[in-house]
Every structure is written in C-alpha cells, then in structure tokens.
Amino acid sequence: MSGQHFVLGLDLGGTKMAVATATADGTLLQSQRLPTNAAEGADQAFSRALACGQALARETAASTGSALASVGLSTMGLTREHDVLFAPNVPGWDKLTIPSRLRAAFPGIGLGIENDVKAATRAELRWGALQGCR
C-alpha cells in the first residue's frame, strides 16, 4: 500500500468511542473501541479519543507506508466552532471546542465533522438498508 493514503474516523458517543483507520475504498486497517466514561466528563473523553486517533494514524502510517489524508469525526449534537448544541449525554460536551482541538491534533489534514445521526443515515444510504432510496 506504499504511496497511498488512508483516512481516520472517530465516532464519539455517550457510552463508547470508536476510532479506526481505513483505505479510501473503506477497507478497515486498524480500529479500537474506548469507553466514554461519561461520568468523568467530556474533556477526558475527547482527549483520550484524540490521543487514540493520533496513535492509530502513526501506527497505520508506519505499517503501510502510506499517509493520513483526512479525518472524519461523528458525534452527538450539533457541533459549532466554540460549543456543541443538544448534547446532554456527557457532562461538559456542550462546552467542547471540537473543531479547533481537532485542527490542533491533526494540523494540515483535511477534516470533516458530522452529527452522528446524519452520519449514520449517510452510511445506510451508501452501504446499508437504505441503498437506492431517495
């Protein structure tokens, strides 16, 4: 796979966080699941997810000889630059500055942030039970 690119995905929820790398065509390369530990607050959960994502990206780059092309993050609520609306699952999630922290963790890398419900719907439309629906 040398010379190719891979993507990093982070799916952050109220009970678990899933982090994975994959090829551009969706072939899974590495993955890890972490408990959110919601009672301990948003900052620790988000920090652990970012650290895990950075580690998986480094490991994937080393094992494949390829480079990280982009990072996609899916999470509860509506993410804005300085806060998150409608995210009561984890104390403090509403105060996270997700975009700036993601940019700082992955400088110069293309980023995408999506609401988890919208991301799941897009996945179902593309690969799941909603294929072919409009």
Query: What's the CA gap between 71 and 103, in Å, rounded?
Result: 10
Phi and psi of 23, rounded to 5°? -75, 170
Beta-bridge partner residues of 19? 10, 32
Residues of the chain under the 50 pLDDT cut = none
CB 9 within 8 A of CB 20: yes
Closest CA to 80 of 53, 99, 54, 108: 99
User: What does DSSP say about strands 5-12 and 67-75: parallel, antiparallel, or unpaired?
Assistant: parallel
Element (H, E) at 7: strand 5-12
Q: Residues for the chain: how many in total?
A: 134
- pLDDT (0 to 100) of residue 127: 84
- pLDDT (0 to 100) of residue 126: 85
- pLDDT (0 to 100) of residue 3: 62
